[in-house]
Amino acid sequence: MLDGSSVDPMVVRPFIIRRFVKESHDTFSFGLEPMVGDRDFRFAPGQFNMLYVYGVGEVPISISGDPTKPLSLVHTTREVGTVTRAMRILKVGDTIGVRGPYGTSWPVEEARGRDVVLITGGIGLAPLRPVIYYILAHRERYGRIVLLYGSRTPEDILFRKDLERWRARFDVETHLTVDRASGSWRGNVGVVTQLIRRSPFDPLNCVAMVCGPEIMMRFTVSELEKRGVPYDRMYLSMERNMKCGIGLCGHCQLGPSFVCKDGPVYRYDQLSDIFIKREM
């Protein structure tokens, strides 16, 4: 694709922050627009960009916006360390460097005609939100849609407006749970994997998309397996250290694969052998 070109794929394009939304005490979203050139930013749900903060560093962040509206590039980030902290104090009008989109995507095509089960915890909802936008825009192509979302506390719940909209629809099953209840929370308490057992989907005709901490994904796989979902209908998004996003820096290696180009989204039957190995 870029072969033969003299443009270094490590060089970012400057984008301007047009919108900044505080999602929770540690999580925020921004909408970006390129400083020059084509505004259209096409991506597939599940792909990520490398985002560069001036003088601080560059980190992989999934695209959390609507793939059917490529004019607005949206990212949702949780502040955990140096680069993400520097990102949080950026303001509307500031510049951020972008390169991408990179990586594999969620199987929205393979899921046609089937039930779609989305299981996620914490910031993991961000990489899955484009799937929800996409399948709701093409609702007739899919069977039942089930979203199971776990959050630490009610205050940590992301994308509240979206969630309210999805909960209000009769054709989407949205179930939330929190690890610790607080205030007026009257919903589920406990880990998200507990919800899998009683969820209304057809295990033999569904596609499951899972994104969360590795330990949560392990339990999720085992619950899905108990329900009879075959490995080749489960998809997981993996996280590894990434310094390039394009297969050149070596940091994201997971056994024989590069998470940045063979992932982040893997079909579980292709991952199961390495997923169970520690420190691979």
Ligand X SMILES: Cc1cc2nc3c(=O)[nH]c(=O)nc-3n(C[C@H](O)[C@H](O)[C@H](O)COP(=O)(O)OP(=O)(O)OC[C@H]3O[C@@H](n4cnc5c(N)ncnc54)[C@H](O)[C@@H]3O)c2cc1C
Binding site for ligand X (CB under 6 A): 48, 57, 59-62, 64, 76-78, 80-84, 123, 126-127, 239-242, 264
Tell me, residue by residue from 185 to 224, as one string, x for binding to other proteins by CB under 8 A and - for no binding.
----------------------------------------
Tell me, residue by residue from 42 to 61, as one string, x for binding to other proteins by CB under 8 A and - for no binding.
----------x-xxxxx---
Q: How many helices (H) and strands (E) does the chain have?
A: 5, 15
159 binds other proteins (CB under 8 A): no
Nearer to other proteins, 6 or 184 (CB): 6
Q: Rounded to the nearest whole angstrom, what is the least distance from the CB of residue 130 to ligand FES in the complex?
A: 21
**Cα–Cα–Cα angle for 190, 228, 180, nearest 5°?**
5
Q: Which does 6 bind (CB under 5 to 8 A by kind): other proteins, ligand X, ligand FES, none?
A: other proteins
Q: How far is CA 139 from the centre of its chain?
A: 20
Nearer to ligand FES, 200 or 250 (CB): 250
70 binds other proteins (CB under 8 A): no
- At residue 165, what are phi and psi to the nearest 5 degrees? -65, -45
Binding-site member from 108, 242, 265, 271 for ligand FES (CB under 6 A): 242
Q: Rounded to the nearest whole angstrom, what is the least distance from the CB of residue 104 to ligand FES in the complex?
A: 12
Residue 212 tokens, joined: 């969360």
Rounded to whole angstroms, what are the CA distances from 66 to 9, 26, 43, 84, 135? Answer: 25, 22, 9, 22, 11
95 CB-contact burial (10 Å; exposed 0-12 / middle 13-18 / buried 19+)? middle
Binding-site member from 165, 250, 255, 280 for ligand FES (CB under 6 A): 250
179 binds other proteins (CB under 8 A): no
Closest CA relative to residue 127, chosen from 158, 97, 88, 82: 158
Nearer to ligand X, 111 or 211 (CB): 211
> 53 near 96, Cβ under 8 Å?
yes
Nearer to ligand FES, 50 or 196 (CB): 50
**Across the beta sheet with 13-22, what order do the strands follow?**
57-62, 48-53, 95-102, 13-22, 27-34, 73-78
Nearest-angstrom CA–CA distance, 84 and 73? 18
What kind and span of H or E run contains 219? Answer: helix 214-227
Nearer to ligand X, 124 or 203 (CB): 124
Nearer to ligand FES, 218 or 251 (CB): 251
For binding to ligand FES (CB under 6 A), which residues are involved?
242-245, 247-252, 258, 260
